[in-house]
A and B are shown apart, each in its own frame.
Chain A
Amino acid sequence: KQEVTQIPAALSVPEGENLVLNCSFTDSAIYNLQWFRQDPGKGLTSLLLIQSSQREQTSGRLNASLDKSSGRSTLYIAASQPGDSATYLCAVTNGNQFYFGTGTSLTVIP
């Protein structure tokens, strides 16, 4: 069964810093990987989708990379802002369902 792990579980950085969130998965036979943001008590907002054939995707200050063979993805956030404070979840799919990590709780300190 696919297991998704996210490190670190929590991260606190001063505003303006660049940061990297990590996601690893045990089964490399995935179709795609999606990064989500979750604010407390709220739903999941899609940030980036990387297809299995792609190496990275960018949206604004966010850049996600995928190394399928090693079972890893990173989410890079440039010039962090207090509004980036949230939990970031990665999820991989085998085509039938998404398997989620437990998330990284990010706090950006003004």
Chain B
Amino acid sequence: EPEVTQTPSHQVTQMGQEVILRCVPISNHLYFYWYRQILGQKVEFLVSFYNNEISEKSEIFDDQFSVERPDGSNFTLKIRSTKLEDSAMYFCASGLTLLGAGELFFGEGSRLTVL
């Protein structure tokens, strides 16, 4: 069964370092998302991406964050200068249709620990 895959599964970094989290969405999907979950808290929306541009972003997704779809398969989230509060599980998700019409599929997540 097709699945969303994410790498790395766990990354430890020093505060101020750049981090890139990678995702391979399901191959025929068109809509891509990043969510994050701080330990013990709700899953929160970061950004949605369609047709090679950001569709919507939350207030969390500030200038330190960026997303890119460098080729036909990868979807990346970059954090330019990590802060302690960026420590969280980051989930990539993809969908075939607009969010309101269809199901959303999530990856296993990338755990980011900022020291």
Interface residues of A (CB under 8 A from B): 4, 31-32, 34, 36, 41-46, 49, 51-52, 89, 91, 93-102
6 residue pairs from A and B, CB less than 8 Å apart? A32-B101, A43-B91, A44-B91, A46-B106, A93-B100, A100-B42
Contact with A along B37-49 (1 / 0, CB 8 A): 0000111110010
Residue total for B at the interface (Cβ-Cβ under 8 A): 28
A interface majority secondary structure? strand
Query: Quick one: which of B31-82 are within 8 Å of A by CB?
Result: 33, 35, 41-45, 48, 55-56, 58
Is B41 in contact with A102, judged by CB distance below 8 angstroms? yes
- CB contacts (< 8 Å) of B55 on chain A: these are 96
In the A-B complex, list the 5 residue pairs whose CB atoms are closest, starting with the nearest.
A31-B100, A95-B100, A43-B108, A97-B45, A44-B106
| B104 adjacent to chain A (CB < 8 Å) | yes
